[in-house]
Amino acid sequence: MSPAKQKKSNVGTAMSRLNARIHGITSQLIVVPGLESEEEWEAHLEATLVDRAPVGAVETQLVERIAGLTWRMRRVERFECESIAIGRERVDADFAKMQKLSFTDRARSVAEAERRAEDARRCLDIIEGLLQMPPDTALASADVEAILADLADQANENLDGFMKGIEQPAAGVRWTFESLLAAFKALAARDGEAFQEVLAGMIARATVLASSQQMEVASIREELDQLMRERTLPDTKTIDLIIRYETGLNRMLYQALSTLEAMQSRRAGTPTTLHRVQAYGLPGG
């Protein structure tokens, strides 16, 4: 096909698309694919035409414009609702990001805070049951390491240095209440402290840690609830975008309505003013 014929064919295709319109505005031009329904648009357009009862081509075009503008205003409402929904869905992810950027060791989610609280509570139970539990009861190495690491931290030492010279289970052998008790007694003897005093101090500290971890769970839940409440509205940038876009649509809608009403009044023989004062808000609003 020659370039001239190709160009003519493209123009003809575009014109035929416009000729297939419904009352001057096609579904393809007004309906967002995958987001809006052509059937709903056509029903909306038909209802607007029935409501406004245009006569002649110009009035019909004005009513079509009114239908298109009110349809787009519906889209603004949908956009606002979806903006709120998306913002609320992102609360957990945004909170985690904020905690990451804060460079603190604070939990980044309720689930993580709950795991920490559970770990702290389990370590407290181990220390409190040190003298009551059957000596051969096996312990999780992670729990024992957490307890010993906290002691080392209090002594301002790393764990390896803190445990130097203290007998520990051989590789592959699990810790038990008996071996942990022996390690605590050895640490107390090395530091010249009474074991019962060391144990009481450990219980007190573990109690505080378990309580603080539980408080962190409540604190994070409260912050997430606050973020969720704050996102009952879109963010400031989105609100500004909505206001500006909706203001423009309102201006065009009121202009079309005013022009249509003036035409219909003249056609009905009703006197109309030569100048119609219209207010659409402050300049630049």
Question: Which of 40, 193, 56 is closest to 48 using CA atoms?
Answer: 40
Instruction: Please report how the helices 91-101 and 195-230 are oriented relative to each other, as an axis angle in degrees rounded to 10.
Output: 130
- Each residue of 217-275: pLDDT tens digit? 999 999 999 999 999 999 999 999 999 999 999 999 999 999 999 999 998 888 766 55
The answer to whether 141 and 130 are in contact (CB under 8 A) is no
277 is written with which tokens? 């004062």
What is the CA angle 141-132-122, rounded to 5?
40
- Each residue of 141-183: pLDDT tens digit? 999 999 999 999 988 999 999 999 999 999 889 999 999 999 9
180 is written with which tokens? 């942990």
Q: What is the pLDDT of residue 285?
A: 46
How many CA atoms are closer than 13 Å to the CA of 271, on its beta-carbon side?
Answer: 1
Query: Which amino acid appears at position 279 of this protein?
Result: A
pLDDT band at 2 (very low <50, low <70, confident <90, very high): low
- Each residue of 105-147: pLDDT tens digit? 999 999 999 999 999 999 999 999 999 999 999 999 999 999 9
List beta partners, residue 176: 138
161 is written with which tokens? 């240095």
User: How many Å apart are CA 126 and CA 141, to the nearest integer?
Assistant: 12
Question: Can you give the pTM of this predicted structure?
Answer: 0.70
